[in-house]
Amino acid sequence: MLTTKNRPVNSSKFEYTADTSLVSYVPKKGKNVILMSTLHRDGRICGQEHQKPEIIMDYNATKGGVDNMDKLVTAYSCKRRSLRLCHLDGTEPRVEQREAPEETPLSRGTGKSTGETSNPE
């Protein structure tokens, strides 16, 4: 299947398993195109002069979507980018971290937190 030495140009060989088809196509002398498909179950050949298998014709018809996806993946990285603030002079701003004040539960009905004393003025 891999050797092309004694195979004529535009010839195809097919191999089948229960759920896959494998085709070996010789487009030029010394070249070999091998494709595997789970969609195609028979070895139909296109009726044009190049006698390409249907598996290869379907691949060629739909490969534009794969090429476009590859182009987009290389152009738009999926790495997460961090946004950092910086001053105009290129230094990073100083960020102070403070502890949040302790929250105390409100006492029932008074609206004041427990532990608070009222200071009348």
Edge to edge, the sheet with strand 11-16 lists: 11-16, 21-26, 33-37
Residues 47-100: tens digit of each pLDDT: 777 888 998 888 888 887 777 877 877 777 665 555 555 555 666 656 566 666
| pTM across the whole model | 0.52
Query: Any idea of the CA torsion for 32, 35, 36, 41, to the nearest 10 degrees?
Result: -100
Cβ neighbour number for residue 43 with a 10 Å cutoff = 15
Q: How many CB atoms lie within 10 A of CB 21?
A: 20
Domain boundaries, the chain: 11-75
Predicted confidence at residue 88, as pLDDT, reads 59
Contact 4, 31 (CB under 8 A): yes
The pair of structure tokens assigned to 93 is: 């701003």
Which of 31, 71, 30, 39 is closest to 57 using CA atoms? Answer: 39
